[in-house]
């Protein structure tokens, strides 16, 4: 299994158990129960679609869509597109978008697929989502209201950061608590991100050095001090 999709394995396991299937069952199909010999019920199409995305199985994604899965469904609070975006699966994202997935769909905490794509160390998925109409400056839900570029900065996603800036994301926007993109980078010790932002003409905010100091990122603090 791709290491980047391991985070969701437990969630899918729960979905499979609830559906009466095991992780070995093909989405949408049925298989004998080893203990009873009885046929386990098939996964519901919407769950089959999400499970296929978690496994990174493109053939199963296509099969679930062909079998009537609702690409807008959000079992467990997130859509299949959320999962594909978070795990950096560009081909799955493209398939789901072609099937009519909603780039603006939100999880209960306010995350859109673009927010989740910013966590993955990749720019391709971000480019696909923005091209499909995702708002590059969308804010998460209360209390943090982080924007995709804030997440890319805090996680060191340089490729994603570049794509977001190239597609109009505004690094100067804050999160509602007076922290902008440079603050997110400084607060997480992302000196490489701060250097990239400087290359793009984006200087650190007045509060970035204090944030790096308070978080004990002294290398980052030294870099910020060298700019003054």
Q: Which domain holds residue 197?
A: 140-228
Q: Is residue 112 part of a domain?
A: no
* Residues 157 and 222 placed together within one structural domain of the fold: yes
Which helix (H) or strand (E) covers residue 131, if one does?
A: helix 124-131
Residue 32 phi/psi, 5-degree rounding, is -70, 145
* Residues 90 and 168 placed together within one structural domain of the fold: no
* Residues 28 and 87 placed together within one structural domain of the fold: yes
Q: Which residue is listed with tokens 């990122």?
A: 217
Q: Is residue 20 part of a domain?
A: yes
Mean pLDDT split into 10-residue runs, the chain, 228 residues: 40 40 40 44 86 97 96 96 97 98 96 95 93 96 87 96 95 91 97 96 95 97 95
pLDDT at 17: 36
Q: Is residue 16 part of a domain?
A: yes
* Residues 65 and 156 placed together within one structural domain of the fold: no
Domain boundary among 102, 125, 150: 102
Using CA atoms, how far apart are residues 14 and 20, in angstroms rounded to an integer? 10
Is residue 178 reached through a cis peptide bond, with omega within 30 degrees of 0 on the bond before it?
Answer: no
Q: Is residue 168 part of a domain?
A: yes
* Residues 6 and 75 placed together within one structural domain of the fold: yes
Q: Is residue 134 part of a domain?
A: no
* Residues 149 and 80 placed together within one structural domain of the fold: no
Using CA atoms, how far apart are residues 127 and 107, in angstroms rounded to an integer? 20
* Residues 5 and 84 placed together within one structural domain of the fold: yes
Total of domains in the chain: 2
Three-state DSSP class for 32? strand
CA distances from 179 to 48, 144, 204, 214 (A): 40, 10, 11, 14
* Burial grade of 186 (CB within 10 A; 0-12, 13-18, 19 or more): buried
* Residues 98 and 145 placed together within one structural domain of the fold: no
pLDDT at 122: 80
Domain boundary among 102, 122, 152: 102
pLDDT at 121: 76
Q: Is residue 121 part of a domain?
A: no
Residue 193 phi/psi, 5-degree rounding, is -70, -40
Q: Is residue 50 part of a domain?
A: yes
Token output for 89: 């699966």
Task: Let me know how long the chain is.
Answer: 228
DSSP code string of 170-182: -TT---SSS--HH
Instruction: For residue 152, give the CATH number of its domain.
Output: 1.25.40.20
* Residues 97 and 159 placed together within one structural domain of the fold: no
pLDDT at 120: 86
* Residues 197 and 147 placed together within one structural domain of the fold: yes
pLDDT in tens, 155-172: 999 999 999 999 999 999
* Whether 209 contacts 189, CB under 8 Å: no
* Residues 96 and 1 placed together within one structural domain of the fold: yes
Beta bridge partners of 220: none
pLDDT at 203: 96
Residue 200, C-beta contacts closer than 8 angstroms, at least 6 positions apart: 165, 171
């Amino acid at each position: 299994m791709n290491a980047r999709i391991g985070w969701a394995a437990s969630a899918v396991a729960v979905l499979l158990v609830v559906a009466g299937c095991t992780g070995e069952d093909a989405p949408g199909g049925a298989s004998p129960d080893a203990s009873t010999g009885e046929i386990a019920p098939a996964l519901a199409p919407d769950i089959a679609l999400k499970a296929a995305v978690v496994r990174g199985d493109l053939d199963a994604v296509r099969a679930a869509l062909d079998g009537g899965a609702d690409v807008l469904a959000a079992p467990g609070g997130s859509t299949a597109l959320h999962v594909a975006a978070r795990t950096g699966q560009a081909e799955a994202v493209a398939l789901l978008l072609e099937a009519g997935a909603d780039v603006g769909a939100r999880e209960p905490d306010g995350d859109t697929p673009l927010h989740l794509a910013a966590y993955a160390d990749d720019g391709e998925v971000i480019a696909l989502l923005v091209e499909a109409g995702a708002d590059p400056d969308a804010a998460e839900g209360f209390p943090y209201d982080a924007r995709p570029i804030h997440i890319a900065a805090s996680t060191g996603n340089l490729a994603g950061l570049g794509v977001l800036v190239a597609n109009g994301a505004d690094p100067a926007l804050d999160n509602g608590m007076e922290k902008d993109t440079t603050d997110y980078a400084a607060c997480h010790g992302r000196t490489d991100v701060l250097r990239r932002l400087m290359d793009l003409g984006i200087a650190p905010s007045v509060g970035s050095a204090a944030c790096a100091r308070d978080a004990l990122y002294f290398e980052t603090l030294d870099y910020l001090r060298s700019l003054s």
